[in-house]
A and B are shown apart, each in its own frame.
Chain A
Amino acid sequence: MKTIFKTVLLIGVLIIGITAVSGINDILNKGNIVSQELKKNEIESYKTTHFKDDKVFIRVHPEISDGSTLTKYVNQRTATLKYLSNTHGDTIVDAVITFNDKYPIEAYRSFMNSYGLEELSYMYNSYPEGMGVLSNETPTKLIKQTEENIGRNYTDFKLIDKIVSVKTRIHAKDLLRIQSDKRVFLVDAGPEDVYRENSNKEIRTTIDYIYPVYIKFGR
């Protein structure tokens, strides 16, 4: 009887665990789409996809063509941070952190650890040239082998020389604190409207990196 109870308990824990791990990713499939909407304003275009069970996915493409647009973008994003901090403090949101400078891997790790952040992906500069993006899923072996393969064409080549930006997930209550860090140019959690319009829903957001426009117009 005890064994049966333990087995049932184990199966229950497994089911709960699997459900927790799969979460929203299982909901984001075509059959569960309720509606889609494409919006465009002076700083971005973004697409909102509503799924069953109050799940929402936002894909944001910033459109920043000069310094004044970048300033508007930063101001609007700062307003998003304030809104989320004040009204959704316990929520975890997707965000892109753009750094003020290029940071060596050790300094980058130190920054992430100090806020308890884990990367979904990061943007990096190579030495002596090139830039790229890697996700947290990319195997270390692949990175090492790529560095060896490509490095043959250069002297002192380093694939991941400096980190310039990172996609991560942040507790909303920490957003303003991270934004005020002197190493940070912008914490970008996306358009405020989508949070206002979907305040009781589970939102996932993917925003394109803006580091290239920061380099061009923001420094």
Chain B
Amino acid sequence: MNKRGGNLKKKYNWEKYLKIVVSAMVILLMADGVLAVASWAPNQFTYPDRIYDDGTYVEYFQWFAWDQAHANDLHSKTGSNGKYQHEFSRDVDKWDFQSSLCIDYGWWTNLPDVHEASEEATYPWCDLPFLQNDEEAELVTYSPQNIQANTWYYMDVIFKKRTTSGTLELLTQAEYADYRYDFGPDSYSDLTRTTEVP
């Protein structure tokens, strides 16, 4: 086969694979995982990526971004005293985000003015180790006005495994409130929902 023929074949294969990938993505989007987001939530995001797993600790990483319209809506809703929270929610009987004395195992982010989550400090199931509900690994920014449109932000969280049996649902979620010390959010928007093997 001459050089030209080889290139044509490559191009044909590339288009074929692209179609397969796009079709698979559409099916995935429709079936499970990525959810329709609220007008103020990040509208671009990746699936949480398991970037570390040693059998005891597991680490997840997610990118997310707002386009101009979504960023504008977030800013108008939170005002100057509000907050934006980004969280990973999962079955707490499978993975812990905090040790028995509420010490976070670890997180990392480039969100502006970020704090340890405020909301959980007020719930009985959040501030002690024997949680009955699905625990949220959550970070909060008290300067949502400094969230820029078309900038990629990330959140990385470390969990400690309680068990490696069964499956669990990992939900990533955006929340806002118009007052930073409100106990609960004014609204929330699910971003991704995936089933994980602990």
Residues of A within 8 A of B (CB): 25, 28-30, 36, 38, 45, 47, 49, 57, 59-61, 63, 65, 94, 120-121, 126, 129-135, 137-139, 141-142, 145-146, 149-150, 159, 167, 204, 206, 208-209, 212-213, 216
Contact = CB atoms under 8 A, between A and B. Distances in A.
Given A47-B127, A61-B122, A129-B110, A120 B180 contact: no
B27 to A, nearest CB: 28
Those 9 A-B pairs whose CB atoms lie nearest each other, nearest first: A132-B108, A61-B121, A59-B127, A206-B102, A30-B130, A130-B110, A134-B106, A208-B116, A25-B100
Contact of B128 (A30, A126, A132, A141): A30
A45 B121 contact: yes
B73 interface: no
Contacts of B154: 130
A28 B128 contact: yes
Interface of B: 51-52, 54, 56-57, 59, 61, 81, 99-110, 113-116, 118, 121-122, 124, 127-130, 142, 154, 156, 158, 160, 180-181
A142 B128 contact: no
Contact of B156 (A30, A129, A146): A146
Contact of A142 (B52, B81, B101): B52
A135 B110 contact: no
Given A63-B181, A208-B116, A142 B103 contact: no
29 contacts: A25-B101, A28-B100, A28-B129, A29-B129, A36-B124, A38-B122, A49-B128, A59-B128, A60-B121, A61-B121, A121-B103, A132-B107, A132-B156, A133-B106, A133-B116, A134-B105, A135-B104, A138-B57, A141-B54, A142-B158, A145-B52, A149-B61, A150-B61, A159-B108, A167-B103, A208-B116, A208-B118, A209-B115, A212-B113
